[in-house]
Amino acid sequence: MNYKETLEYLYKQLPVFQQIGSAAYKPGLQNSEALDQYFGHPHRKFRTIHIAGTNGKGSVSHLLAAILQLNDYKTGLYTSPHLIDFRERIRINGETIPQEEVIRFAEQHLAPTLHIHPSFFELTMMMAFNYFAEQQTDVAVIEVGLGGRLDSTNIITPDLCVITNISYDHIQMLGDTLPKIAREKAGIIKKGIPVVIGEAEGEVKQVFINRAQEVNAPIVFAEEQIRFDSAIQHTDNWEFNMPEFPHLLGELSGLCQEKNAATVLTAVKQLRALGYRISDQSIYEAFAHVTRLTGLMGRWQQLQSSPRLICDTGHNTGGIQYIVRQLRNEHYRNLHIVIGMVNDKDITGVLAMLPKDATYYFTRASIPRALPQEQLQDLAVKAGLNGRSYPTVQQAVEAAEKESRPDDLIFVGGSTFIVADLLKFMPLPL
């Protein structure tokens, strides 16, 4: 099989959450533990850092990976989902796993593991762990897929745990209150292993404190550790100032990046205390060039300038609140929003937050979980949003561009998979 045929075979053989949603979700670690035994416990052959949270996991994971690789650690990075190519999920020092490795893994290991009935996520996670071990990776940053306590990745014993924040997402699987969701995310906190919490208050904060005390894990809160003297958002970057890091420029420009920066800097403090060699210069370089160093895409990313077109993968109420605030800060004549969502999100909650003075282009991503664009439009009309529907992201974006003036702004988002479809026909600027 070639690479394309291999991926098609994997998608066909294994349940894929990205495609079908909760039907592919297998709570519990039995499958992961069985696979781990079959592969000889590869994750024990390198150090790990475990990242959970509702929003910000991707940015924090990529920033930490960039910092580590700049300090001459051979650094693995495992994230999900991918935007354009499956191989984005598995990287070493920013380079994606080669196609030949994906083919070899499937040919050698798919048939012998089918009796375990793994999900797509479970098996491809083991592909990552196996690849990192074979390549003699020093450390890997591992992003949780969904939740924490029962997530497949929770078989690892990391040096450090990070939980970015808690918001409503996947409530049918994780719980319908923030404390319930927090308890699931807190499941990655393990005995004696330090944990960094990016953002938490009230009952949610207490959930983390209780779990840390339960397992005797040192816990620190980024909001208490990092106090910026100033955090200035420019058009295309952030400038953070504090005594330890004056004039720290962050390439990622969305409003949520102020919280993410504090989380990363707190994690760096903990890693240094654990004996990791991390220079100040590496932190400056990683913040300034994270997309080039790691391949991160889709975080308040400008793809063209006239009219400006920006995309963002934020897809729940926690992520959308930052996007809406960011849109208020932008300068434009007219605002055009291309939006699509998947059918297991808080759709009415998101629609209620969106600006009513924009022109909307309702669409759907090219996955089975996508909400049909006509249904999204019907719900949006009830929320006071007006526009037309289009069967594909490309048609919706082309309609927005046709109706836009050079000084207008087009925003594309609502789902990771909408951004994925966008990037398939609109390449990243050089």
The predicted-structure confidence for 90-112, as pLDDT tens digits, reads as follows: 999 999 999 999 999 999 999 99
Gap between the Cα atoms of 65 and 67, Å rounded: 5
β-strand pairing of 409-413 with 335-339: parallel
Q: Where are the domains of the chain?
A: 3-294, 301-425
With tokens 């089918």, the residue in question is 114
Beta-carbon contacts of 78 under 8 Å, excluding residues fewer than 6 positions away, are 89, 90, 125, 128, 129, 132, 140, 141, 142, 143, 153
Residue 392 carries which DSSP code?
S
More confident residue, 118 or 266: 266
User: In which band, very low, low, confident or very high, does the pLDDT at 19 lie, cut at 50, 70 and 90?
Assistant: very low
Q: Is the pLDDT of residue 361 over 50?
A: yes
Residue 97 carries which DSSP code?
P
User: In which band, very low, low, confident or very high, does the pLDDT at 31 lie, cut at 50, 70 and 90?
Assistant: very high
pTM: 0.94
Q: Among the listed ranges 47-56, 169-178, 310-319, 360-369, which one has the minimum average pLDDT value?
A: 169-178
Pick the CATH number of 301-425 from 3.40.190.10, 3.40.630.30, 3.90.1150.10, 3.90.190.20: 3.90.190.20
Beta-carbon contacts of 5 under 8 Å, excluding residues fewer than 6 positions away, are none
128 Rama sector, left if φ>0, alpha if ψ -120 to 50, beta otherwise: alpha
- Greatest extent of the chain over all pairs of C-alpha atoms, in Å: 59
User: In which band, very low, low, confident or very high, does the pLDDT at 176 lie, cut at 50, 70 and 90?
Assistant: confident
Phi, psi (deg, nearest 5) at residue 95: -95, 130
CATH superfamily ID and name for 3-294? Mur-like, catalytic domain (3.40.1190.10)
Cα angle 2-145-320, degrees, rounded to a multiple of 5? 110
Q: Is the pLDDT of residue 16 over 60?
A: no
